[in-house]
Each structure stands twice: as C-alpha cells, then as structure tokens.
C-alpha cells in the first residue's frame, strides 16, 4: 500500500452448474387425450305422463339405449350422454302406442336432420360441444264409440210357448224356456276419429293447365286432377275419412313447361317433402284437417325468330317450351366411408337437404335434382363434417362458380342440360403428438460437470509491494 493510498479489490464468483440441475427443456411425455362431445336427450310429453319412451343412440363406436319419462317431476325426462367420439350420431325413438312424435328440435345450428314419421334424428357431435335435443310427443285422443251397444238383447225368434210370470207355478206349465239364439254382445271398439287432407294447387301464373296427383296409403289409392285458373272452382280437393296416425304419400305427375318450386303444409308441416321429386309424405292426427299446397311455376317460353322473312305467311305460330335443366350432385369420400355428408340445395324458392354417403357401393353417393330453371342461379353448399375436409369441388359446366373455402358452388343450368358437380372429401389424419419423447430420452444439452479449473480465481491485480525507502522521520 502506498502512503495515503486507498485500494479496492473485488472478488467475482460464478456458480458452476451441477448434474442435479434440471434442464429447462426436458421433454414431457404427452398426456393429452382426444377431445369428445356430449348429447343431452330430453323428452317432453303433452300432457305430462308416467308413460316411458325408449330411445336407441348409435354412432362411432357407440350403441346404447335409454328410457325417459316426462311425468312432471323432471327426474327422469332427460339423460346426458358424455364422452362421445366426434362424428355423426343417429337417435331413434321407439313407437309407443297412443302417442306420436310431433316435433324434434335441437338447441343450435341447422346441421341436423329429422324424420317425424320414422321418429329419428341425425346429428353431428363436435369436440368440446354439448348439444341438447328434445323429442316432443303428443298423446292421441281416445275415440268415443258413436254406436254404444246396450246390454239388452232383443231376440228375433219369438218362442211359441211364452213363459208365464214367475208368481204362478202351475204343475202343467211347459218346462221349455225361450233362449234367444242371437244374443247381442255389447263390444265397443275404440276407433280413432278419421282425418282429413285438403290438397291445393297454386300455379304461377294462373292457368287452365291441369295437374295430376296420385295419393297412396294403407288400403288407399286414388288420383286427382286440379286446375288453378283463377276461378277457385277446381284448384283444391278435400279428402276425408283418412286413417289417423297413418302416413300417406302424394306425388304430382311431371308436367311439361312447369316445375314444382314449393310444397307447404299448415300446422306442424309434413313428415317429408321433396320438390324435385314432386313428393309429399304426411301423417295426420285423429280429427285433424291438414291443408297442403303444391305451388308450380311456368317455365319461360322462347319464341323462335323466323329465318325466312320473305312473305308474311312465314310468321311462326308455335312456341317452344324449354326443357328444364338437371343437376347431379356426387359425393366422393377418400377413403370410402359410411360417414354421411349433408348437402344443401337452394334457389328459386327451393331449400332442400340431402345426406350423401360414399361407402363404395354407388347407391347413396349422388342425388339427381330436376326441374331447374335456366334463368335461376342455384347454390349447392356442403355442411362441415367433423373429421373430414372438403378438398375439391368440380363441375362439368362452365357456368359454375366454385368457392372451395366456403364449400359451395353457384351454378346456372341451361335448358335441357344435365350438369354434374362432385364434392370430394378427405378424411383428416389422426392427430399424433409431435413430442414423442419418453423418460428414457437423454436431453441433448445435459450439463457436464466442469473439469477445468476456473479461470476466475479472484487473484488481486494490485498486490502491494513492501516499501524500499527508509522513512525520513526515524
């Protein structure tokens, strides 16, 4: 130290890593499991009743049955089915005597389909989503017999030896007693009150054109011809005496120059309708009158331009009726699968859903839609299907506008043309965890204990030197 000097020394230390320190990026085995969905099934009976209703639910690796009762206590009118794999599920309610399914609703979306006549529901279940669907049942009214039989039997055969009153007991009274041979049996049968259907034709514009209908059902087959010429005289028919709770099918015959653009029934609607097939299926409750209307639109007529205008007599008098167009929608699943895909077709007042399945047998993978107006642009759109991606849409028509991202095509089908559009789907690969490290994997950056002697041994650089000078103040 120099005379009067102040020296500062700093010792800097760095901690050496040890083998016990855990690396910050040690791989962890994957613990995530595939996410599932859930379905809440609800029964709503009108009126509330102790009547049990049975359900079957099927889907990917799933098949189970349930019994629900809506007696007003809310203890057994619903069931929560959780842990369902992603996919499409089919719910069917068994037929219950004295009851009918009047409606089926789900809490959100329009991606499900129902069939009231079959009492079934088809619905997709998504990952992490809980869907709630309610089956509504109405109790069928009990029919009151109109011809109540009395317990008094009136024999038609009058015995010749009429018995005497029981107060007289003559010894020579004949012992023969008159036993009626045709004793009436008081048997009351509970027959549901018949139903009625009013079938209406609405043509646009009003016309003298006749339209023919065929109606069939159990022990029933009849034909009708309706005309909507504006007079209101022959545009409807009332069909009474129909068996209640029984499905009837009404089909309109094809009429050149016209197409069915709407079918509508009042109240709860129809069991099933298809405007492209000009078909209606309906079940009517006892004593109920339903009105169903078939609306037809006339196709535009083209007036040909005469090619020979030499004389006024060449003016054509005939008009050509354009032939409606046809669209074929095809589903191509890769690979082939029993997975159903829902296709929505709409335009010109039509709004129809189709379920297509490409399982390799080519029987349910396409639908043919007829009666298309050449001046109308129609839209075909595919709903999302869990586990599948729409990878391609192709059409053989130059008038098709394809939007793969929105999963739809807008198309104009020319007069007499048959266009085909194919929607191709690929199954999504099963997700495999990208971090496949196991506990036996040795981290690549495992610290190694230091073998070298640290270079920072904190040696002071300003080591004091003993003074060599002799102090002057000895």
Q: Which domains does the chain have, with CATH numbers?
A: 37-139 (2.60.40.1140), 195-298 (2.60.40.1140), 325-427 (2.60.40.1140)
Work out the mean pLDDT of the chain and round it to a whole number: 79
Percentage of the chain modeled with pLDDT above 70: 70
Burial of 405 (0-12, 13-18, 19+ CB in 10 A): exposed
How much is the pLDDT for 30? 59
Q: How many angstroms separate the CA atoms of 134 and 314, rounded?
A: 67
Q: Give CA angle at 414 (410, 420), nearest 5°.
A: 60
Provide φ and ψ at 314, rounded to 5°. Answer: -85, 5
Mean pLDDT confidence for 424-436:
76
Q: Give CA angle at 59 (44, 92), nearest 5°.
A: 35
Q: Which two tokens stand for residue 248?
A: 């009837």
* DSSP one-letter code for 22: P
How much is the pLDDT for 112? 86
Binning pLDDT at 50, 70 and 90, where does residue 154 land?
A: very low
CA distances from 399 to 13, 244, 376 (A): 79, 48, 12
Q: What is the pLDDT of residues 244-274, one digit of tens each?
A: 888 899 999 998 888 887 888 886 656 777 7
CA distances from 376 to 169, 202, 328, 418 (A): 98, 20, 16, 15
Pick from 261, 280, 171: which is nearest to 215 by CA? 280
Q: Which two tokens stand for residue 73?
A: 């206590």
Judged by DSSP in three states, 40 sits in strand
Higher-pLDDT residue of 351, 79: 79
Q: How many angstroms separate the CA atoms of 14 and 27, rounded?
A: 28
Segment among 111-120, 125-134, 435-444 with least mean pLDDT? 435-444
- Categorise residue 236: left if φ over 0, alpha if ψ from -120 to 50, beta otherwise: beta
Binning pLDDT at 50, 70 and 90, where does residue 149 land?
A: very low
* DSSP one-letter code for 305: P
First-residue to last-residue Cα distance in the chain: 19
With tokens 């074929």, the residue in question is 328
Q: How many angstroms separate the CA atoms of 35 and 388, rounded?
A: 16
Segment among 236-250, 278-292, 303-317, 391-405 with least mean pLDDT? 303-317
């Amino acid at each position: 130290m120099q005379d009067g000097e102040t020296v500062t020394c700093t010792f800097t230390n760095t901690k050496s890593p040890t083998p016990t320190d855990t690396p910050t990026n040690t791989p962890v085995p994957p613990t995530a499991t595939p996410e599932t969905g859930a379905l809440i099934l609800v029964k709503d009976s009108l009126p509330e009743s102790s009547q049990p209703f049975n359900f079957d639910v099927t889907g990917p690796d799933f098949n189970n049955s349930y019994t629900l009762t809506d007696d007003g206590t809310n203890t057994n009118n619903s069931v929560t089915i959780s842990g369902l794999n992603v996919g499409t599920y089919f719910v069917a309610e068994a037929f219950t005597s004295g009851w009918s399914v009047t409606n089926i609703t789900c809490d959100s979306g329009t991606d499900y389909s129902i069939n009231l006549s079959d009492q079934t529901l088809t619905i997709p279940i998504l990952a992490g989503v809980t869907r709630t669907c309610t089956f509504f049942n109405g109790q069928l009214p009990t029919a009151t017999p109109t011809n109540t039989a009395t317990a008094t039997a009136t024999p038609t055969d009058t015995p010749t030896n009429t018995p005497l009153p029981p107060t007289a007991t003559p010894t020579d009274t004949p012992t023969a007693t008159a036993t009626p041979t045709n004793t009436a049996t008081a048997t009351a049968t509970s027959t549901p009150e018949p139903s009625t259907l009013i079938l209406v034709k609405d043509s646009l514009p009003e016309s003298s054109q006749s339209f023919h209908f065929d109606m069939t059902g159990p022990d029933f087959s009849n034909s009708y011809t309706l005309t909507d010429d504006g007079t209101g005289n022959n545009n409807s028919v009332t069909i009474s005496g129909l068996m209640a709770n029984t499905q009837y099918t009404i089909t309109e015959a094809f009429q050149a120059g016209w197409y069915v653009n709407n079918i509508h029934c009042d109240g709860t609607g129809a069991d099933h309708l298809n405007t492209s097939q000009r078909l209606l299926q309906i079940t009517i409750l006892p004593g109920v009158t339903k009105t169903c209307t078939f609306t037809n639109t006339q196709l535009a007529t083209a007036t040909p331009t005469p090619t020979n205008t030499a004389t006024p007599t060449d003016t054509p008098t005939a008009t050509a009726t354009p032939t409606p167009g046809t669209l074929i929608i095809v589903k191509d699943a890769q690979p082939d699968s029993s997975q159903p895909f829902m296709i929505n077709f709409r335009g010109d007042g039509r709004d129809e859903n189709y379920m297509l399945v490409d399982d390799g047998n080519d029987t349910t993978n396409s639908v043919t839609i007829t009666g298309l107006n050449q001046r109308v642009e129609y839209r075909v759109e595919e709903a999302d299907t869990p586990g599948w991606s729409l990878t391609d849409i192709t059409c053989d028509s130059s008038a098709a506008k394809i939007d793969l991202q929105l999963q739809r095509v807008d198309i104009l089908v020319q007069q007499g043309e048959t266009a085909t559009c194919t929607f191709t789907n690929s199954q999504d690969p099963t997700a495999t965890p990208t971090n496949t490290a196991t506990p036996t994997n040795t981290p690549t950056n495992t610290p190694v204990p230091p073998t070298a002697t640290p270079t920072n041994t904190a040696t002071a650089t300003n080591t004091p030197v003993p003074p060599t000078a002799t102090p002057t103040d000895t």
